[in-house]
C-alpha cells in the first residue's frame, strides 16, 4: 500500500501519543485531587445519548444542535443517538434517571472524557476533544456559584498555568432576560445598518450574541447598548452581587464583562469564562455558569445547578506557550537486563519475570542485538539501573547491578536486586 493510500485518523481527531500523556495525566490527576477538595465525586456517563437530550438541553436553534452533532440511527425502531457534544446534559440526565435527588438534595459531580463536535478544526479546537467538568446540582445559592468559579481558578493555579483571567456576568433568569431581549432589540434596531451580516442575522436568532461580536463596528454598537446588568430583576441582581462579593472576599480577582454571553440555552444568571491571553482567537480555557431550569426541563424536580467545563486542548496549548509544559517524561523502566551472549537469553527472560513479580519495572532486549546496542537502549530508555548477564553470572548466581548515572556497580544475589532498587538512591 502506498503512503497516500494509508488510512489516517479522522479529521480533527488526533492521537494522544505517549509523549502527550505526561501532560494529559498531569491535568487529570490534578483535577481529581483539586475537585476532591470540594467533595466532588466522579461520574462517567456514556459517550452516546438519545439525540433528544441534546436538542432539549443545548437548544434547538444552536449551531451545535443544528449542524455539529454526530448523529446515528440506532436499532430497528430507528431511534436517534448522538455522540455527546458536551456532558452537562448527560450528567443531569443520569441524576434524574437514578433519582439521585431523592437520595439527597445536593450533589457535586465531575467528569473527564471526550466530546464530539463536527466543526472545522483550528487552533485549540478539535472534533474530538477532552473536557474536564464539574456540576453542582441541587442548589440555587450564590455560595455555590462562587465556589464553582473559585474551583475552576484553583485548578488552573494548581496545574501551574499563570495568566488566566476570570470573566463573569449575569444573564438573569428567563423572565428578566426576555425583557432585556426586547430592550436590546429596541436599542439596536436603529443601528442595524452598522452591523456585520452575521450580526444582522443574530438580531433575530440570538440577539445577545451581537454583544460579543469581534467586528470593530459591531463592538462599537454593542458598547453603546444597554447592559444586562441594568435589566436584572431584584432577585437576580442580588444573587449576582452576592456572588461577586464572595469572590472578592476570597481574594479572587474577576472582571465583570457585560458582553459575556454563553452559547447554550440552558444557562441562567451567573455565567463565567476563564481565558488565557497566549492563546489565539479561541482563548477560553474554561466556560461555565448556572443552569437552574435544566433539571426540570429534562423531567426532574426543580433544582438549581452550577457547572463548568475545562477544555483540555486549549489548556495544554496555553501551558506549552508558557513555561509550564517542561515536564520530562518518566522513564518506562527502572532496570534494563542486557544479555552478554545469546545462550543466556532465556535466563535473562526468567530473571526479568522474577523481578517484575517483585514489583520492578524491567525491560530487556528481544532482538538478539549486541551488548553495546542493549546498553544504548538502556540509556535511551532512561533506566536507572542495568545488569549485564553472561555465563559467569548464571553460573555464580551473582549479578552486578550498575547505576547508569554513576557507573557504580554492586554485586548482588538475585533475591537482593529488588530490595536494592527500592532502597533510597545513593
Partner RNA sequence: GUGGGAGUAGCUCAACUGGCUAGAGCACCAGAUUGUGGCUCUGGUGGCUGCGGGUUCAAGCCCCGUCUCUCACCCCA
The only residue of 327, 380, 411, 422 in contact with RNA, by rule CB under 7 A: 380
Q: In what order do the strands lie in the sheet with 362-364?
A: 362-364, 335-339, 385-389, 398-403, 409-413
The only residue of 153, 188, 207, 213 in contact with RNA, by rule CB under 7 A: 213
The span of 164-172, 230-238, 312-320, 416-424 binding RNA (CB under 7 A) equals 312-320
Q: Any idea how long the chain is?
A: 426
Size of the site for RNA (CB under 7 A): 74
Specify the residue, 237 or 361, whose C-beta has the smaller distance to RNA: 361
The span of 22-30, 124-132, 138-146, 227-235 binding RNA (CB under 7 A) equals 124-132
Q: What are phi and psi of 272, to 5 degrees?
A: -150, 160
Residue 310 within binding range of RNA, rule CB under 7 A: yes
Residue 124 within binding range of RNA, rule CB under 7 A: yes
Beta carbon of residue 335, minimum distance to RNA (angstroms, whole number): 12
The only residue of 234, 407, 423, 425 in contact with RNA, by rule CB under 7 A: 407
Beta carbon of residue 264, minimum distance to RNA (angstroms, whole number): 6
Hey, which residues between 332 and 351 contact RNA (CB under 7 A)?
Answer: 340
The only residue of 38, 187, 278, 375 in contact with RNA, by rule CB under 7 A: 375
The Cα 50–Cα 173 span in angstroms is 27
Residue in the block written with cell 436584572: 232
Specify the residue, 93 or 117, whose C-beta has the smaller distance to RNA: 117
Q: What are phi and psi of 163, to 5 degrees?
A: 85, 20
The only residue of 33, 350, 376, 411 in contact with RNA, by rule CB under 7 A: 376
Residue 198 within binding range of RNA, rule CB under 7 A: yes
Specify the residue, 282 or 354, whose C-beta has the smaller distance to RNA: 282
Displacement of CA 80 from its chain's centroid (Å)? 27
Residue 286 within binding range of RNA, rule CB under 7 A: yes
The Cα 395–Cα 380 span in angstroms is 30
Q: What are phi and psi of 244, to 5 degrees?
A: -60, -40
Specify the residue, 40 or 291, whose C-beta has the smaller distance to RNA: 291
Residue 370 within binding range of RNA, rule CB under 7 A: yes
Residue 57 within binding range of RNA, rule CB under 7 A: no
The span of 177-185, 229-237, 252-260, 371-379 binding RNA (CB under 7 A) equals 371-379
Over the window 226 to 255, marking each residue x when it contacts RNA by CB under 7 A and - when it does not, the resulting string is: ------------------------------
Amino acid at each position: 500500500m502506498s503512503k497516500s493510500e494509508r488510512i489516517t485518523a479522522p479529521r480533527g481527531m488526533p492521537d494522544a501519543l505517549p509523549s502527550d500523556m505526561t501532560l494529559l495525566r498531569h491535568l487529570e490527576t490534578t483535577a481529581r485531587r483539586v475537585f476532591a477538595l470540594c467533595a466532588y465525586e466522579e461520574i462517567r456517563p456514556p459517550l452516546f445519548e438519545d439525540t433528544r437530550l441534546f436538542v432539549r438541553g443545548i437548544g434547538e436553534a444552536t449551531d451545535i444542535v443544528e449542524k455539529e452533532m454526530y448523529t446515528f440511527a440506532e436499532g430497528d425502531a430507528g431511534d436517534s443517538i448522538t455522540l455527546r457534544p458536551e456532558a452537562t446534559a448527560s450528567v443531569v440526565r443520569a441524576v434524574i434517571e437514578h433519582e439521585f435527588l431523592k437520595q439527597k438534595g445536593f450533589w457535586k459531580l465531575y467528569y473527564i472524557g471526550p466530546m464530539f463536535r463536527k466543526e472545522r478544526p483550528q487552533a485549540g479546537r478539535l472534533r474530538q476533544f477532552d473536557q474536564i467538568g464539574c456540576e453542582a446540582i441541587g442548589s440555587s445559592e450564590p455560595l455555590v456559584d462562587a465556589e464553582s468559579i473559585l474551583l475552576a481558578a484553583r485548578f488552573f493555579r494548581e496545574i501551574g498555568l499563570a495568566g488566566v483571567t476570570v470573566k463573569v456576568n449575569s444573564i438573569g433568569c428567563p423572565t428578566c432576560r426576555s425583557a432585556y431581549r426586547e430592550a436590546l432589540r429596541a436599542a439596536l434596531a436603529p443601528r442595524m445598518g452598522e452591523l456585520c451580516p452575521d450580526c444582522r442575522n443574530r438580531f433575530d436568532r440570538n440577539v445577545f450574541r451581537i454583544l460579543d461580536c469581534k467586528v470593530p463596528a459591531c463592538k462599537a454598537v454593542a458598547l453603546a447598548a444597554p447592559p444586562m446588568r441594568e435589566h436584572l430583576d431584584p432577585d437576580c441582581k442580588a444573587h449576582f452581587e452576592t456572588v461577586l462579593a464572595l469572590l472578592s472576599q476570597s481574594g479572587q480577582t474577576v472582571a465583570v464583562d457585560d458582553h459575556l454571553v454563553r452559547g447554550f440555552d440552558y444557562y441562567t444568571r451567573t455565567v463565567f469564562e476563564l481565558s488565557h491571553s497566549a492563546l489565539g482567537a479561541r482563548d477560553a480555557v474554561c466556560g461555565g455558569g448556572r443552569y437552574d431550569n435544566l433539571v426540570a426541563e429534562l423531567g426532574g424536580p426543580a433544582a438549581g445547578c452550577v457547572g463548568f467545563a475545562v477544555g483540555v486542548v486549549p489548556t495544554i496549548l496555553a501551558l506549552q506557550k508558557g513555561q509550564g509544559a517542561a515536564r520530562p517524561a518518566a522513564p518506562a523502566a527502572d532496570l534494563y537486563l542486557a544479555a552478554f551472549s545469546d545462550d543466556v537469553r532465556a535466563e535473562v527472560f526468567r530473571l526479568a519475570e522474577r523481578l517484575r513479580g517483585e514489583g520492578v519495572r524491567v525491560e530487556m532486549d528481544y532482538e538478539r542485538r549486541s551488548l553495546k546496542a542493549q546498553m544504548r537502549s538502556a540509556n535511551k530508555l532512561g533506566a536507572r539501573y542495568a545488569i549485564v548477564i553472561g555465563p559467569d553470572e548464571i553460573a555464580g548466581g551473582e549479578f552486578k547491578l550498575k547505576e547508569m548515572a554513576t557507573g557504580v556497580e554492586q554485586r548482588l544475589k538475585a533475591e537482593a536486586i529488588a530490595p536494592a532498587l527500592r532502597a533510597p538512591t545513593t
